[in-house]
Amino acid sequence: MREVKKLEDTYIVNDDTYFADNMYVTNSMLKQLMTGSTMRLDHYLNMEHKETESLIVGSAFHCYILEPEEFESRYVFAPKFDKRTKVGKAMYAEFEETLDGRKPVPGHYEFAFERMHENIYSNINAAHLMNEAKGRETIHFWEDVETGLKCKGKVDAEGEDYLVDLKTTSKGADHESFNKFVNDYKITQQAAFYLNGTKKKDFYFIMVELKAPFGVGIYKMSEQAIEFGNKQVESTIKIYKEYISNELVTDLNGGNIVIV
């Protein structure tokens, strides 16, 4: 594990301030550096991050499970409107006036959320992890001692010696689908980055399907996975250190022809 020093921050206290800040290093930033190029990081930092329906649904379900007392003030299940018609457009305009800052979630997810919640808490292992995780949506700050970089991470749920990342998926929660998820989203690095910052021992993913039968899969990251993730953190955080020191060329291969 990497040596870290705990930090405090009184400005970043919610999603708005958390996602608006680029001063602290996040796992999402480091993930852009997996190729060794900083071009993707440049794009990530400068692009407009639009909230797609899938992002809103994922965030809404996190709130539904992790902060249920906040759900009705942040989100609302929206009826279906045919905005191709004049009547449908008018009805949607009336609906928008009732939002009062809340984000609309397509109405058919109301049943899905209920079943997903039921399946998580009817699974003995998932229920135990969630019930014993008293910390919810906690923001952590730390300094990576070797590089001196300030880092941050927002944890879905945390128990005394473990972290939980709750993931919704439109694919499957089975083992084969999870293995593909590991490769596609580089989650070994995510697990190592968060364990370093929080000094917890274990990292679990709870995968929940967004479609019937709303299956639940629980995956604990192995010691080998965390070790591999730490190697990824080490390489990408060093690239980031060079990047902010203006010492690293952002070109993918320096303009050279690569022979493969």
Instruction: Specify the amino acid at residue 165.
Output: D
Q: Is residue 32 in some structural domain?
A: yes
Mean predicted confidence (pLDDT) in 99-105: 95
- Is residue 97's pLDDT more than 70? yes
pLDDT band per the 50, 70, 90 thresholds, residue 247: low
Tell me how far apart the alpha carbons of residues 111 and 2 are, in angstroms, rounded to a whole number: 43
Q: Domain containing 9 — which CATH number?
A: 3.90.320.10
Which domain, by its residues, includes 192? Answer: 4-244
Mean predicted confidence (pLDDT) in 137-143: 97
Three-state secondary structure string covering 43-96 = HHHHCCCCCCHHHHHHHHHHHHHHCHHHHHHHEEEECCCCCCCHHHHHHHHHHH
Mean predicted confidence (pLDDT) in 160-189: 94
Which DSSP helix (H) or strand (E) runs through 156? strand 149-158
Any idea how long the chain is? 260
- For 73-95, write each residue's pLDDT tens digit: 999 999 988 888 988 889 989 88
pLDDT at position 252, please?
A: 46
pLDDT at position 186, please?
A: 87
Tell me how far apart the alpha carbons of residues 9 and 140 are, in angstroms, rounded to a whole number: 9
Burial (CB count within 10 angstroms: exposed 0-12, middle 13-18, buried 19+), residue 9: middle
Q: Is residue 253 in some structural domain?
A: no
pLDDT band per the 50, 70, 90 thresholds, residue 259: very low
Pairing type for strands 103-106 and 135-144 reads unpaired
Q: Is the omega angle on the peptide bond into residue 68 within 30 degrees of 0, that is, cis?
A: no
Average pLDDT over the chain, rounded to an integer: 92
Q: Is residue 151 in some structural domain?
A: yes
Of all residues in the chain, the percent with pLDDT exceeding 90 is: 77
Q: Is residue 98 in some structural domain?
A: yes
Q: Is residue 251 in some structural domain?
A: no
Q: Exposure string (b/e) for 199-210, b if CB count within 10 Å is 16 or more?
A: ebebbbbbbbbb
The count of structural domains within the chain is: 1
On whether the CB atoms of residues 161 and 195 are closer than 8 A, the answer is no
Which backbone phi and psi does 251 adopt, to 5 degrees?
-65, 150
- Is residue 122's pLDDT more than 70? yes
Q: Is residue 229 in some structural domain?
A: yes
Q: Is residue 260 in some structural domain?
A: no
CA atoms within 13 A on the CB side of 231: 5
Nearest Cα residue to 31 out of 147, 191, 195, 248: 191
On whether the CB atoms of residues 188 and 229 are closer than 8 A, the answer is yes
Q: Is residue 201 in some structural domain?
A: yes
- For 6-64, write each residue's pLDDT tens digit: 999 999 988 889 988 989 999 999 999 998 889 999 999 888 778 899 999 999 999 99
